[in-house]
A and B are shown apart, each in its own frame.
Chain A
């Protein structure tokens, strides 16, 4: 043990355990210099809290303002709390008291006995019935494996190739969120809008998977009508009348890339700020996105309405294992 002169509380009295003190010991006295005043103060707190709680009831009954409920409840609770703490801190035995820690560890004999019970009684029994033990293990293993089937497999359908494809097909018309087809005159240069496959603009899949950003980069010049906007070699005919369309799903984490900056000609992902150069096949130029946004080949019909010349040629959205 430590030396004696360390064994004192702040006021010089010895550290005693609860059993060693009497009602008149200094440890049992309240901390408050003037317990009577303190008692009055605490009583006041309790009275105030009661009034607050009653007020809460009245406020509820009267359907008062929202903040009044919280204010009354909060102040009431705080008053009770402060009162209770003050009661414990100032009016109850100030201590400190000491308590010896009991031994957590058992004696070596007890430990040995425990180990013996496990090894000798249990071990011997199991060793003698080795076949039973193995069979039980096999049974438990089987139930463990098969219970995974209903637990996991029932949760949902297998992905199949649903992640690889969208509803865009050759000839699908582009529509806005109101379901109307998009004419080449709908937007001027610098315009952008979200488009969906016709008829799917209000469906979950249409919104979650097929959503596409349509952007107009160039005007139509009379001499080269329809003028195609080429974003990349091999995409010579994908951008009629200066329109380009990219999947609105970020290749990073699938957020809708709805942020178009028309002078910088950048599509920016609002979630993690990946930036895609719209003029150059939506190549990512900054941020965590690893791949360009897939481009949708467009075409214009005789009446000037835009439709998909083909579906997406690659899987849209974030990367996943099966994506080639």
Chain B
């Protein structure tokens, strides 16, 4: 609102502004121009408090750390493959005088010669590993509780796109320092591009600006890494959060919680305080990891050189499942009619991740095909109550997990002192076996847990055991003693499934089947 009369004294001005003094004044000024007071609903927005809803916050805040530390790194990193000689006074002796790319030199230089440079580099890398990890954990939570169902399919789609972008950008960033390990990763990426039928060699030449390694790939990856992909991520994160606010948060079933309400703490001040505190804690954990746990010590790896190679080179953990499948895939190259399709590369490195991410992105629609469920869902499922979805999710994750383990066949063989070839064969078998086994096992476990829930909270009756003179033991139930009221411990029938159907929603759609009222199903 705006004031119409001109106040004469300060006191009058204060009173005219409203009961809250300077705050009122500020609100008035802002509201005149922006209409901020209408956003009060935003301050009042209620957030459910369950801990599992904060997993996405870990991802968000590690992304904030990535942006902050990343800006610092761009000030010192030189994205160029032109060759420089490391000065003879460089602190790390084995690199003195070596001819390396500017990208490599600037990275080791910021690690050794820039105050806080190594801390920022390590925080950046740790935050990246945590970023992707927390996205996966967050996604698992959303999946297993069914939070992706209508109306939140769009946000699921945005979220899974964010995962792909995060992995992509992680790989790009991993490639930038041009050290021996990342260079080998680039070499593999080049060969994967080459494996694409028809356009493979063009793809590779366009990315590398010529034959591998060329001189263009680091500057190009740099632009993608610091500008294009983070830009898209920021945009999608904003959309993700906007939809979260617009559609309001899901919640677990519980007392007073229905499909039509949200129970929790308000945005201001409680949620703000907690979530900002959590931002700082995330920063703190990342900084402590950055201080005490070394990550990617590229000076120990040395510069990349296409003829050099180290054993046991691995990508960052989130690319591990691809590397694992590449290792265990049988050699089935297609070669005839004057053409070659390296299926042993194309299938595990291009087709398989395509299938994985497509299943992930399309899951809400895939599930709807089976359940024919077109209802709005704001209350979450308990995983055991949706055994098929839970079983599929566990099988899916276990497949990826076993492939991740397969990317360390050499480490496993070394650690357990078994033959490398045996480990590889074991992994081939396990990759097929594990998902096939985990699906039914999870399914029946879910069913068991549904059944077993009934017995929770029941007390067994006491028995008194007598020994007869012949030495025989006889057990008979003990008499009920005062205070042994069994009914006290009998669990109240907890509604395992509450469904509130919005009257307004269901009422007027023509030709639509309407289910009456609210039902509380008790098992």
Asked if the two chains touch in their complex, CB atoms less than 8 Å apart, one says yes
Q: What is the distance, in angstroms, from A114's C-beta to the closest C-beta of chain B?
A: 16
What's the Cα separation between A276 and B118 when bound, in Å?
41
- Across-interface contacts of B424 in A (CB, < 8 A): 273, 286-287
The B-contacting residues of A in range 262-298, CB under 8 angstroms, are 270-274, 284, 286-291
**Is B188 an interface position by the 8 A CB rule?**
yes
Task: Give the interface residue-count category, chain A.
Answer: 35 or more
0/1 string, B184-212, CB within 8 A of A gives 1:
10011011101111111110111111111
User: For residue B191, which residues in chain A have a CB less than 8 angstroms away from its CB?
Assistant: 252-254, 317-318
Whether, in the assembled complex, A9 has its beta carbon less than 8 Å from a beta carbon of chain B, the answer is yes
| Chain B residues in the interface with A (C-beta under 8 A) | 44-46, 49, 115-116, 118-119, 122-123, 151, 184, 187-188, 190-192, 194-202, 204-216, 246-248, 255-256, 258-266, 269-274, 276-292, 305-313, 323, 326-333, 335, 338-342, 344-345, 378, 409-410, 420-421, 424, 498, 500, 502, 504-505, 508-509, 518, 520
Cα A98 to Cα B248 in complex, Å, equals: 12
- What are 20 contact pairs spanning A and B, CB under 8 A? A10-B255, A67-B292, A70-B291, A74-B290, A80-B284, A95-B270, A96-B49, A97-B265, A97-B266, A153-B206, A204-B306, A208-B211, A208-B306, A254-B190, A271-B309, A272-B327, A286-B421, A321-B198, A321-B200, A321-B341
Residues of B within 8 A of A159 (CB): 201-202, 204-205, 211
Chain B interface: which of A84-92, A223-231, A301-309?
Answer: A84-92
Residues of B within 8 A of A317 (CB): 191
The reply to whether A319 and B263 contact each other, CB–CB distance below 8 Å, is: no
Known contacts A177-B307, A258-B309, A318-B191: A2-B280 contact under CB 8 Å? no
> Whole-angstrom distance between the alpha carbons of A67 and B255 in the complex?
48
Does B255 contact A319, Cβ atoms closer than 8 Å?
no
Additional pairs, 6, CB under 8 Å, beyond known A15-B256, A78-B284: A75-B288, A157-B210, A271-B184, A274-B331, A320-B340, A321-B199
- Which residues in B have their C-beta under 8 angstroms from that of A105? 505
Please state if B264 and A96 are interface contacts (CB–CB under 8 Å).
Answer: yes
Which residue of B205, B277, B292, B520 is within 8 Å of A70 (Cβ)? B292
Chain B residue at smallest Cβ distance from A204: B213
A residues within 8 A CB of B274? 84-85, 88-89
Q: Which residues of A contact B323 (CB under 8 A)?
A: 272
Contacts of B264 in A (CB 8 A): 95-97
Give every chain A residue within 8 A of B49 (Cβ-Cβ). 95-96
The residue on A at minimum CB distance from B259 is A101
**Which of A7, A177, A248, A272 contacts B256, CB < 8 Å?**
A7
CB pair A321–B327 under 8 Å, yes or no, is no
Contact of B500 with A2 in the complex, beta carbons under 8 Å? yes
**A89 vs B270: C-alpha distance in the bound complex, in angstroms?**
7
Instruction: Judge whether A207 and B307 touch: CB under 8 Å.
Output: yes
From B212, B287, B327, B504, name the one whose CB has the most chain A CB atoms within 10 angstroms: B287
* Closest CB in chain B relative to A249 CB, distance in Å: 9
Q: How far is the CA of A29 from the CA of B187 in the complex (A)?
A: 61
A100 and B273 form a contact (CB under 8 A): no
A109 to B260, CA, bound (A): 23
Chain A 65-82, CB-CB to B under 8 Å as 1, else 0, gives 011111101111111111
The complex places the Cα of A85 from the Cα of B272 at a distance, in Å, of 9
Cα–Cα, bound, A209→B213 (Å): 10
Q: Is the CB of A320 within 8 A of B206?
A: no
CA distance A89 to B413 in the complex (A): 48
Q: Is A155 an interface residue (CB 8 A)?
A: yes
Q: Produce 1/0 per residue, A178-196, CB < 8 A to B.
A: 0000000000000000101
B133 to chain A, nearest CB (A): 19
* A241, B271: Cα distance in complex, Å: 78
Q: Does A240 sit at the interface, judged by CB under 8 A?
A: no
Contacts of A71 in B (CB 8 A): 288, 291-292
Q: Is A320 touching B262 in the complex (CB atoms < 8 A)?
A: no
Check: A232 CB closer than 8 A to any chain B CB: no
In the complex, what residue of chain B is closest to A322 when comparing beta carbons?
B201
Contacts of A153 in B (CB 8 A): 206
A77-B287, A98-B261, A101-B261 in contact; A284/B326 too (CB < 8 A)? no
Residues of B within 8 A of A196 (CB): 307
Contacting B at CB under 8 A, from A6-30, are: 6-10, 15, 18
